[in-house]
Amino acid sequence: MSAELLTVDATPIPGLLVASLPVHRDGRGWFKENWQREKMTAAGVPDFTPVQQNISYNDDVGTTRGIHAEPWDKWVSVAAGRVFGAWVDLREGPSFGTVFTTEIDASRAVFVPRGVGNAYQTLEPATAYTYLVNDHWSAQSEYVLLNVADETVGIPWPIPLSRAVLSGKDQAHPRLADVVPVAPRKILVVGANGQLGRALRRVLGGGHVEYAAHEDLDLTADVPSARPWRAYRTIINAAAFTAVDRAETAEGRVAAWRVNAEGAAALARVAADHALTLVHISSDYVFDGDLDGEYGEEQPMNPLGVYGQTKAAGDIAAASAPRHYIVRTSWVVGDGPNFLRTMHALARKGASPRVVDDQRGRLSFADDLAHAVAHLLESGAPYGVYNITGSGEPMTWAEVAREVFAAAGSDPQRVVPVSTQEYAATATAPTAPRPRNSVLSLTRIRGTGFEPRDHRAALADYLASELPEGRAEPS
């Protein structure tokens, strides 16, 4: 029987969906929309971007095929005839072994997520079973298989298997006790040895997360063929050319554009082609810093220097991936060399550094930023651009330096405040232009349920726990 309206129903297997399709009949036969992206996704079917259609024609009643869990998603339907469909969850997790069965005729279709075993038995002769998949078949593809006669799952085949038509291969599949569950798709962290990359290692841990340093994935090389991308669900792009001043040189300019813009574009193409989520880390440098107030995500970009220009280009490229989070942040502090460690070392030496006092912003500690990225992925927040920094009253770099000096037991007044122009005039090497105002609005990330930590409190914690002990040497 055909449905008058398209409906989609859940099943006991997470992600396995049954769709009732309107079938339009007249004296000539019938017509249906077997896959209509706009309508199907609006009804709740994932936009799984199919790339291949297969048709299995079956002469006889009782032809039984399966159980195959394949490394892609499927949209299963019938073009002629009728089948008894059976699905077994073979994915790692609490639903492993869950069974669902139903009949399929022209008026029904089933969305089968990756890792769910699929099988069917024909109930009419001359049955044409058809399915769309979102990856191209390859001889190197890895399948997880289950025997159709497995006693544990106990599929109630309408035609006894003793009278069914089965292939020798299908009869030789293992029992459930011998099946290795299908692991979930992985998260790939690119730029895994940087400040944020190391923080993501601590926050995300191991398991199904893979970490790629520059030598593991070169963003200036052939990214589309660098990985079996259907094995991943998310790419976190924490890789960047961050030498802001060197980006203004001839050599640095080329490197910045290749990594920050072209590299981001390559990852966005991969994400779009394979329906992956792309998390792209951006910067306050995409703005000119002239705004009176906080920068919202909707503010137009207007970068001042090469580094900011390449990051803005990377943002535009990342936004071409349908599933994207662009995370704009500022003044990132992680482990390894950073401004706070430099100021702490100068304080202990009794130095009097000149520090700019007309650039305002909030510190973003790498671990806090990593927790925010994890929150976006775990909460299912709407895709788009998010500002993520510490919260609280903004500071200038000179004010930050004074806090470090005080924590080191040195006189904060030893920090000499200067303007950006004064600092540049006496610098030993050319300096890139920097935004005077790097304060980013946090309203949107708060709307997802994430509350950024006050950056002054985070600074105090960092100074107390991360920097070496010892007081300043006498001047």
Query: So which residues are the catalytic ones?
Result: 68, 131
Give the residues across from 75 on adjacent strands.
111, 132
The alpha carbon dihedral of 148, 153, 157, 160 has a sign of: positive
CB distance 155 to 98 below 8 Å? no
Count CB atoms within 10 A of the CB of residue 56. 14
How far is it, in rounded angstroms, from Cα 316 to Cα 42?
A: 26
- Burial string for 215-250 (b: 16+ CB within 10 Å, else e) reads eebbbeeebeeebebbbbbbbbbbbbbbebbbbbbe
How far is it, in rounded angstroms, from Cα 358 to Cα 376?
A: 33
How far is it, in rounded angstroms, from Cα 23 to Cα 74?
A: 21
The alpha carbon dihedral of 451, 455, 459, 462 has a sign of: positive
Rounded to whole angstroms, what are the CA distances from 18 to 1, 383, 450? 15, 26, 35
**Cβ-based neighbours of 250, under 8 Å, separated by 6 or more:** none
Nearest to 49 by CA among 276, 306, 365, 324: 276
Q: What is the DSSP letter of 83?
A: E
CB distance 16 to 74 below 8 Å? no
**Cβ-based neighbours of 316, under 8 Å, separated by 6 or more:** none
Nearest to 200 by CA among 361, 375, 461: 375
